[in-house]
Amino acid sequence: MTEQRKNVLSCIQPTGHMHFGNYFGAVKNWVDLQEKYDCVYGVVDYHAMTMPYNPEKLRQNSWDIILNLVAVGVQPENLFIQSYIPEHTELGWIFNCFTSYGQLTRMTQFKDKSSQVEDKSKDSFISAGLFDYPVLQAADILIYKADYVPVGKDQGQHLELSRNIAQRFNNMVGKEYFVLPETLYTEVPKVMSTADPTRKMSKSAGEKHYINVFGEEARIRKQVKSAVTDAGASTMDVDATTGQREKGAGVQNLFKLLEACGKLDAHQALETKYNEDTLSYGELKGEVAEALVEQSAKFVAKKSELKANKKEIKYKIQQSSAEIRKRAQQTLKEVRQLTGLTNLKL
């Protein structure tokens, strides 16, 4: 008999564009993991309500990110929209009662985000939802008995909390009911901003700090062309372990992008030139721009195909969410029984 495949779950917030940092750093990994594991991936619209937001935009962004994910290779049957599965919030409530208030106050993402809200305007406020965010996240994960959760290092603390909740729950009910989820860290390239290669490519830093995967070709080229190459300026120093000439942060980032795009031959050739000090940054940027545009063009074409049949893809996601929901419902049925809530069967 073949060994049972492990369960993988991850989720993404529906916030506007997908940039190459998101793609190479997370989403591409999601696509690859589908071969080896039973994967479910959620677009977490309930989570997106924890910060000041616009209702119309939220719905638009949810569908937009679904199209983006499918366009880059996530299988629609593995995708769900969180609010189609209200059991997540029900389990979230139950988990509130298994979560230590003190531990929640120590979450660094809460501290970061609440300071962002405070800076925004007088009318914005730090919602209880923002504080409670990691508990809902624990519900997202545990409801499907996920073995592995592919996330970045910034989510380590939330994963730890999920394990604590599972453990506390298991202790109370006296059996190993919930699986303790493990973080699945994969070696993924950390793409930096081309405008400031000392910081991560990210939306929050502003428009020039990220390159949109589904962006216009001319803009992608322009952004690569204006990439900063003198940050942490290159020297003729040679790294003692690799024997390679050291690179400044900007140049290193461009090489990394080339590699991430799978342009290994070009990468090798340019690396040789770099070591000989005969590489012009114009040439390097030209190759990187070409590689990104090529990637982007494939995805853009796929996305417009999907857009032309938007009804069909929406229907598919409703179906897949309904299918995935059955697993969530089964968990809730068992959890209600275990926790002493009134039994659903009359």
Active site residues: 113, 200, 203
Does position 151 interact with ligand TRP (CB under 6 A)? The reply is: yes
State which of positions 53-72 bind ligand TRP (CB under 6 A).
none
Q: In sequence order, what E strands does the chain have? A: 7-12, 38-43, 79-81, 148-149, 182-183
Residue 234 near ligand TRP by CB under 6 A: no
Binding of ligand TRP by 137 (CB under 6 A): yes
Q: What is the maximum alpha-carbon separation in the chain?
A: 79
Q: Is 140 in the site for ligand TRP (CB under 6 A)?
A: yes
Pair of tokens at residue 91: 């389990």
What values do phi and psi take at 39, rounded to 5?
Answer: -110, 140
Q: Which stretch binds ligand TRP (CB under 6 A): 14-22, 148-156, 257-265, 303-311?
A: 148-156
**Cα angle for residues 216, 220, 225 (degrees, 5° grid):** 145
Q: By CB under 6 A, name the one of 13, 170, 202, 275 that touches ligand TRP.
A: 13
Report the distance separating Cα 190 and Cα 206, nearest Å: 18
The reply on whether position 48 binds ligand TRP by CB under 6 A is no
Candidate segments 8-16, 33-41, 67-75, 204-212, binder of ligand TRP by CB under 6 A: 8-16
Out of 14, 19, 41, 47, the only residue in the binding site for ligand TRP (CB under 6 A) is 47
Asked whether the CA dihedral 95, 98, 100, 106 is positive or negative, the reply is negative
Dist CA 272 CA 276 (whole Å): 6
- Nearest residue (CB) to ligand TRP, 144 versus 274: 144
Place of tokens 């590489």: 279
| Radius of gyration, CA atoms only, the chain | 22
Nearer Cβ to ligand TRP (138/249)? 138
Helices (H), 73-212: 87-96, 101-105, 108-120, 128-142, 156-173
Sole window of 133-141, 196-204, 206-214, 331-339 interacting with ligand TRP (rule: CB under 6 A) = 133-141
Distance CA 211, CA 296 (A): 10
Residue 7 bridge partners (DSSP): 38
Nearer to ligand TRP, 133 or 255 (CB): 133
Residues that bind ligand TRP (rule: CB under 6 A) add up to a total of 13
How far, in Å, CA of 204 to CA of 338, rounded?
Answer: 42
Q: Which is nearer to ligand TRP, 85 or 149 (CB)?
A: 149
The only residue of 10, 194, 234, 296 in contact with ligand TRP, by rule CB under 6 A:
10
292 vs 317, beta carbon nearer ligand TRP: 317
Is 162 within 8 Å of 138 (Cβ atoms)? yes
Among positions 163-222, residues that touch ligand TRP (CB under 6 A) are none
Question: Nearest approach, Cβ of 207 to ligand TRP (angstroms)?
Answer: 21
Catalog residues that contact ligand TRP under the rule CB under 6 A: 9-11, 13, 44, 47, 137, 140-141, 149, 151, 155, 158
